[in-house]
Amino acid sequence: MFRRRKAPQSGEKPRTGLFLVKNGVRREVSFEELALSNTLSLEALVRILTRKGVVDAKELLEEMDKVKTERFREGMPPGGDEITH
């Protein structure tokens, strides 16, 4: 069962998704930063694959709809927010 977490209130620190350590310096990475990084990486990958003709954009959208239907009953994620692409 999925439960939605409350969004941080203004002034409240975002929840930490993970910690990165580079050159001995520890940095917190929020879930929001992780989600944005993931989204940007996927978009860049799809653009390259589409431009090179490896992936057909229409076929990708159809497959995304199929995955959404398989993952979420009635094609909707928990909480009822529509996923758009």
In a domain, 32, yes or no: yes
Q: Do residues 16 and 1 make contact, with C-beta atoms less than 8 angstroms apart? A: no
Residues spanned by the domain of 39: 16-75
Distance CA 25, CA 20 (A): 8
Total structural domains within the chain: 1
In a domain, 40, yes or no: yes
Q: Do residues 53 and 59 make contact, with C-beta atoms less than 8 angstroms apart? A: no
Whole-model pTM: value is 0.58
In a domain, 7, yes or no: no
pLDDT in tens, 20-62: 888 999 988 888 988 999 999 999 999 999 999 999 999 999 9
pLDDT in tens, 14-25: 788 788 888 999
Q: What's the sign of the alpha-carbon dihedral 62, 67, 68, 72?
A: positive
Closest to 29 (Cα-Cα) out of 14, 16, 40, 12: 16
